A and B are shown apart, each in its own frame.
Chain A
Amino acid sequence: MNNLAIKVSELSKTFQIYKKEPGITGSLKSIFNRKYVDIKAVNNISFGIEESELIGFIGPNGAGKTTTLKMLSGLLYPTSGTVEVLGFKPYERKAKFQKQFSLIMGQKNQLWWDLSVWESLMLNKAIYEVNDVDFKKRVGELSEMLEISDILHIQTRKLSLGQRMKAELLVSLLHSPKILFLDEPTIGLDVVAQKRMREFIENYNSNYGATIILTSHYMEDVKQLCKRVIIIDKGIVIYDGLLERIVDKFASHKIIKVDFDETISRNDLQRIGEIKELSDIAATLYVPRDEAVKRAGQLLSSFNIRDFVVEEMPIEEIISQIFEVKK
């Protein structure tokens, strides 16, 4: 194993949340008597991330992904457990540590809204003590990679969402961070912009060797970029490993897609597997994974078949199944 950039051990974070009763009466009551509940946003998680790794952090809403990122970047104090990033305890918020990472949140804006991107760049240049030569080189390289050289002097509020997100990246990467925390960087972007953003993240990781942790609701982001994923649900890590192994570990079924030479009935097919789609001469069947070969044989021997394919379940579906089962 290479050097670990991030070490997390038995990390937990509990928030005390005010529980409001509904309606006006509830609001009035809450003035005098408030009820609080403890919510364990992150519950005893442990993992390590190597230098230059690009990993996906996935889970449904409220799973604890962003809370974990915030503890890794030092925004939140852990309730218990230990966390170490580049040898620092993030919650101590030491300037030496803060100069080595960037946190980019797709839903929050860090640029000066009424001023141009250039002005935000100049501010970060001073904050991160980037010298003139590095500044010129870095802005040139990154703006070319992001294809935004022509919008640097336009007011942020006049940029499209895709352009703004690219500008956020440019400003955040100015100081060559060793670690990038990307929280939903493609949220709200159109398909083309999402693709460009993914290409950039991939290139940045391979060209600069930065360690990247990516959270995203779009499985396409994770599939394209991450070999390794950590799946978190209700604050607990339920999978940490290679993306391709998710299929072996969690997929319960295989998919058989078949075209027939003749019209077939639903009753005939039901003994082969669970019918997901059916037209007169085509069907999609889910069959138990360990019986896929046997069921395919039955299908071939019982029907006149024109075309036939056995596929793994899509990763999106497997992951959503995992979350459904947990619910």
Chain B
Amino acid sequence: MNKFKRYLSIFYILSRNSLSRDISFRFSFFMSIFGGFCYVALNFFIIFFLTQRVSLFGWTQKEMFVLLGSFYILTYAMFLFFWRGFINLIRGIRDGTFDYYLTRPVDSQFLISAVGGGIHNLLALIFGIFVVFYGVNLLQINLSLFQIIAWAFAIIVSVVACYSYVLLLITLNFKYGYIEEVLDLGFSFQNASKYPLDAFTKLPIYLLLFTLPFSALTTIPTHILIDTIFPTQMFVLFIGGSILFIILVRLIWLRSLKSYTSSS
């Protein structure tokens, strides 16, 4: 069995186990769907009413829908694929059950990341895709296949970069013990991706450091869909920068594992 096939089969089993677990708690499952629906609807209507007559940071309502859809996709992809793994990882470092991830003959980062994060988030993610194409439709843009592929690729890179950022924060747990709050911190910054880059131009430089990268995660994929001319330079810089960041976090993760002290 080659390595890829083996990892795929582990991913499949972990996802299946995660799904079985979610469905076995019916009430919790439906409450989570309802919670997701409320968050999505609230954000949608805020943007809808805010942009009914005026533009927001120079973005029209239709353009904002495309951005908001990208935000939903980014957020709920994080929840769908990684969030539970993050929670397990932080708890595992604290109570020592992370030991079991480290002693397995499988990459530990893969094992914690493939645990999944709750199938109920899939609905919100699909809704996000719908909102993106609803906005594109309102803008009356005829998308080329290249644009769609470039957008999908940029969104995937955005999700992985965002995942890497949260993982980077979690590695602090190896050195400083139990810091569950890093997930709240991660989610707070991720909220910046709800707004376009233009919204942050007047912020002090130190705040830009925390907001601009997240805003870029949705703004740049949105530009790929709504700009009349493909933003080549922006696209290359974005993909290159994100990939460098993802590699850097991977190296930091591997180094952090050396300082894991394991709880008794």
Contact B21 A108 (CB under 8 A): no
Q: How many angstroms between the C-alpha atoms of A76 and B20 in the bound complex?
A: 34
Q: How many angstroms between the C-alpha atoms of A78 and B168 in the bound complex?
A: 25
- B180 proximal to A (CB < 8 A): no
- B96 proximal to A (CB < 8 A): yes
Contact B21 A112 (CB under 8 A): yes
Contact A127 B258 (CB under 8 A): no
- B201 proximal to A (CB < 8 A): no
Q: CB-CB contacts of A96-121 with B at 8 A, as 1s and 0s? A: 10110101010011101011000100
Option from B13, B21, B97, B103 in Cβ contact (under 8 Å) with A73: B103
Option from A70, A101, A109 in Cβ contact (under 8 Å) with B262: A70
List residues of chain B with CB within 8 A of the CB of A122.
13
**Number of chain A residues whose Cβ lies closer than 8 Å to a Cβ of chain B:** 30
Q: CB-CB contacts of A160-192 with B at 8 A, as 1s and 0s? A: 000000000000000000000000000000000
List residues of chain A with CB within 8 A of the CB of B258.
77
Option from A15, A98, A108, A128 in Cβ contact (under 8 Å) with B97: A108
Contact A126 B99 (CB under 8 A): no
Chain A residue with the shortest CB-CB distance to B99: A75
Q: Quick one: given A75-B262, A122-B13, are A93 and B102 in contact (CB under 8 Å)? A: yes
Q: How many angstroms between the C-alpha atoms of A112 and B106 in the bound complex?
A: 18
Q: How many angstroms between the C-alpha atoms of A98 and B101 in the bound complex?
A: 11
Q: How many angstroms between the C-alpha atoms of A305 and B55 in the bound complex?
A: 108
Chain A residue with the shortest CB-CB distance to B12: A126
Interface centre among A77, A99, A105, A127, by most chain B C-beta atoms within 10 angstroms, is A127
Contact A95 B106 (CB under 8 A): yes
Q: CB-CB contacts of A1-24 with B at 8 A, as 1s and 0s? A: 000000000000001000000000
Option from B21, B104, B105 in Cβ contact (under 8 Å) with A115: B21
Chain A residue with the shortest CB-CB distance to B1: A129
Contact A95 B105 (CB under 8 A): yes
Contact B103 A114 (CB under 8 A): no
Contact A129 B6 (CB under 8 A): yes
List residues of chain A with CB within 8 A of the CB of B104.
98, 127
Q: CB-CB contacts of B44-57 with A at 8 A, as 1s and 0s? A: 00000000000000
List residues of chain A with CB within 8 A of the CB of B25.
114
Chain B residue with the shortest CB-CB distance to A104: B100
List residues of chain B with CB within 8 A of the CB of A129.
1, 6
- A43 proximal to B (CB < 8 A): no
List residues of chain B with CB within 8 A of the CB of A108.
95-97, 99-100
Q: How many angstroms between the C-alpha atoms of A110 and B21 in the bound complex?
A: 16
Interface centre among B1, B6, B100, B260, by most chain A C-beta atoms within 10 angstroms, is B100
Q: How many angstroms between the C-alpha atoms of A249 and B240 in the bound complex?
A: 68
Q: How many angstroms between the C-alpha atoms of A112 and B17 in the bound complex?
A: 8
List residues of chain A with CB within 8 A of the CB of B260.
75-76
- B14 proximal to A (CB < 8 A): yes
Shortest CB-to-CB span from B25 to chain A, Å, is 8
Contact A110 B97 (CB under 8 A): yes
- A235 proximal to B (CB < 8 A): no
Q: How many angstroms between the C-alpha atoms of A112 and B100 in the bound complex?
A: 12
- A216 proximal to B (CB < 8 A): no
- B10 proximal to A (CB < 8 A): yes
- B24 proximal to A (CB < 8 A): yes
Contact B103 A74 (CB under 8 A): yes
Q: How many angstroms between the C-alpha atoms of A95 and B7 in the bound complex?
A: 13
List residues of chain B with CB within 8 A of the CB of A74.
102-103
Q: Quick one: given A76-B261, A129-B6, are A110 and B105 in contact (CB under 8 Å)? A: no
| CB-CB nearest 6 A-B residue pairs | A95-B105, A98-B105, A110-B100, A114-B21, A99-B105, A126-B10
Known pairs A75-B102, A103-B99, A127-B104; list 14 more (Cβ under 8 Å).
A15-B261, A70-B262, A74-B102, A74-B103, A75-B262, A98-B105, A108-B95, A112-B21, A114-B25, A115-B21, A119-B17, A119-B20, A127-B106, A129-B6
